[in-house]
């Protein structure tokens, strides 16, 4: 306990510096903004801003990027409640009862419940990170290469299983990402792989190019084809404080949502998306009168919003302790750390304690900032919802080009980004999810390196991959998940969920 308090003291001494406070505020503001504006999202935003973090110290850049991520969860609820559109994917469930409350003239209460539940959940989830991330990292120190290989395989299988739509398409997306990770010069043999004689590919594909192309340009190309129809609630927002009865009804769901989100956020794949759905289903089952849900039940706002925000913060645990990103946003975070010369994993707690504890402390500060940003400035966010997309997209494309060119000052990078933008659009049209592709790309390199290390240590003996009980358990877990997903009933339920979303 004494050690934890000392570590938190170190974290607050770093997070409370003027520069880091400013970066935290900037991240929270940008996150809220992109959460409010449907169609952009944290993945595209972090992709676009990734090149701009190169000149910022590692701690400050991670504080800002983290603020963008969990800030988007806050902002997404505003759009879900007022416009009946998810500003961020995790806010899909909030639409059901949040928008119903808004149409009944209780928009202010719904917004307040979402913000307060998110604040409580975020604070609790930060405690979970500080308590469990380092012990998990210590356990990871004892993992052998075959264990890490099996763990990465399990993470990729989670990403496949939890992706929406066709199982085959999710597998192909992950494999495509792994193939893209092999582009460049093999560091062990010196052989060129998939470079097509282009000097700019000798060092491999930069994650900024891939992410900004698929999630930035690709998302824009996809959204410009949609009708810009956002029916904003015309009734008054109402008082920005819920009634005593609404607070009483919401306290239990917010607490249960926090627990659900804290647990599911750690899972690889789409734990942050599953958390609000799981919370909503639980509250509906526990309710004395389930028919209230869908007609403006405050529990239907408080529970999913708490789960959403708790999950968005505990997903940092596997990233920082194991070096394994559980979702696409964490994959971008991993790329940002790698570019800064920091390798996430067990050593981060001893080699970069300022980074870990500075981030943990900044999350408390960021959650307090978001509570202030979201409620008093609600009028500004409503006004921004009226900005037409045709004015936003050209500015975003220009921002992408400037940011990417500033990294290496190579025109080829812009061309590659544009090419991957088209790839992203094609994948979207064909029903492929881009998130498994990005996870495959980020985990492709450690997958290959641990695969090779295992074979070297085993003198080429393939049985080395199942020589450890941990590796066997992880691989069996991955196999069981794949086999379960092959059952027709499970596959149909998976596609039905995607249709509902």
pLDDT value at position 1? 53
Query: Tokens in use for 153?
Result: 């395989």
Rounded to whole angstroms, the Cα distance separating 40 from 51 reads: 18
Rounded to whole angstroms, the Cα distance separating 315 from 70 reads: 11
Rounded to whole angstroms, the Cα distance separating 296 from 206 reads: 46
Query: Pairing mode, if any, of strands 192-193 and 184-185?
Result: antiparallel
pLDDT of the chain, 501 residues: tens digit per residue: 556 677 778 888 888 899 889 999 988 888 887 777 655 667 767 777 777 777 788 888 888 888 888 887 777 777 777 766 655 666 777 877 887 887 777 777 888 888 888 888 888 888 888 787 777 777 776 778 888 888 888 878 877 776 666 778 888 888 888 888 888 887 777 778 877 777 777 777 777 777 778 877 777 777 676 655 555 554 555 566 777 887 888 888 889 989 888 888 777 655 667 788 788 888 888 878 777 787 778 888 888 888 888 888 888 888 878 777 777 778 778 777 777 777 777 777 777 788 888 888 888 888 888 877 776 776 666 666 666 666 767 777 777 777 677 666 778 878 888 888 888 888 888 878 777 887 788 788 888 888 888 888 888 788 888 888 888 888 888 888 778 777 665 555 545 444 344
Nearest to 183 by CA among 440, 401, 405, 418: 440
Query: Tokens in use for 501?
Result: 């979303």
- Domain boundaries of the chain, sorted by first residue: 2-467
| In 315-388, alpha helices (H) | 316-322, 328-339, 348-351, 353-374, 378-384
CA pseudo-torsion sign 88, 89, 94, 99: positive
pLDDT value at position 22? 92
Give the residue carrying structure tokens 């999630």. 215
- H, E, C per residue of 79-135: HHHHHCCCCCHHHCCHHHHHHHHHHCCCHHHHHHHHHHHHHHHHHHHHHHHHHHHHH
pLDDT value at position 108? 77
Q: Decide: 434 and 218 in contact? Cβ < 8 Å.
A: yes
Q: Decide: 474 and 151 in contact? Cβ < 8 Å.
A: yes
Rounded to whole angstroms, the Cα distance separating 395 from 496 reads: 36
Query: Tokens in use for 254?
Result: 């917010």
pLDDT value at position 499? 39
């Amino acid at each position: 306990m004494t050690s934890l308090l000392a570590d938190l003291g170190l974290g607050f001494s770093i997070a409370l510096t003027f520069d880091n406070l400013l970066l935290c505020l900037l991240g929270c503001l940008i996150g809220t903004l992109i959460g409010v504006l449907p169609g952009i999202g944290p993945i595209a935003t972090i992709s676009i801003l990734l090149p701009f973090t190169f000149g910022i110290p590692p701690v400050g850049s991670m504080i800002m990027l983290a603020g963008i991520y969990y800030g988007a969860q806050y902002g997404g609820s505003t759009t879900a409640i007022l416009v009946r559109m998810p500003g961020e994917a995790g806010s899909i469930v909030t639409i059901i009862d949040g928008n119903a409350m808004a149409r009944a003239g209780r928009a202010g209460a719904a917004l307040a419940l979402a913000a307060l539940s998110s604040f409580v959940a975020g604070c609790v989830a930060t405690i979970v990170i500080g308590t469990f991330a380092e012990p998990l990292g210590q356990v990871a120190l004892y993992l052998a290469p075959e264990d890490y290989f099996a763990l990465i395989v399990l993470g990729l299988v989670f990403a496949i299983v939890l992706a929406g739509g066709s199982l085959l398409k999710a597998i192909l997306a992950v494999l495509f990402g792994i193939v893209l990770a092999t582009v460049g010069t093999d560091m062990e043999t010196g052989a060129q792989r998939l470079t097509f004689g282009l000097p700019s590919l000798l060092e491999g594909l930069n994650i900024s190019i891939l992410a900004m192309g698929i999630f930035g340009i690709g998302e824009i190309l996809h959204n410009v084809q949609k009708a810009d129809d956002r029916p904003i609630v015309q009734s008054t927002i109402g008082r920005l404080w819920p009634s005593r009865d609404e607070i009483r009804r919401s306290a239990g769901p917010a607490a249960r949502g926090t627990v659900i989100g804290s647990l599911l956020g750690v899972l690889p794949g789409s734990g942050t998306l599953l958390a609000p759905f799981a919370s909503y289903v639980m509250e509906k089952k526990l309710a004395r009168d389930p028919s209230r849900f869908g007609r403006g039940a405050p529990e239907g706002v408080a529970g999913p919003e708490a789960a959403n925000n708790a999950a968005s913060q505990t997903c940092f645990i596997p990233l920082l302790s194991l070096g394994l990103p559980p979702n696409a946003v964490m994959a971008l975070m991993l790329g940002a750390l790698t570019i800064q010369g920091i390798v996430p994993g067990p050593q981060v707690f001893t080699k970069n304690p300022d980074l870990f504890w500075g981030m943990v402390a900044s999350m408390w500060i960021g959650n307090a900032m978001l509570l202030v940003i979201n409620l008093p400035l609600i009028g500004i966010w409503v006004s921004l919802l009226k900005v037409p997309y045709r004015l936003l997209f050209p500015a975003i494309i220009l921002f992408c080009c400037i940011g990417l060119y500033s990294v290496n000052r190579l025109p080829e990078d812009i061309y590659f980004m544009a090419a991957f933008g088209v790839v992203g659009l094609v994948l979207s049209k064909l029903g492929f999810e881009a998130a498994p592709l990005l996870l495959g790309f980020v985990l492709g390199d450690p997958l290959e390196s641990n695969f090779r290390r295992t074979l070297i240590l085993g003198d080429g003996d393939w049985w080395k991959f199942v020589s450890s009980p941990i590796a066997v358990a992880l691989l069996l877990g991955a196999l069981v998940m794949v086999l379960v997903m092959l059952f027709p009933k499970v596959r149909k339920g998976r596609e039905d969920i995607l249709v509902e979303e």
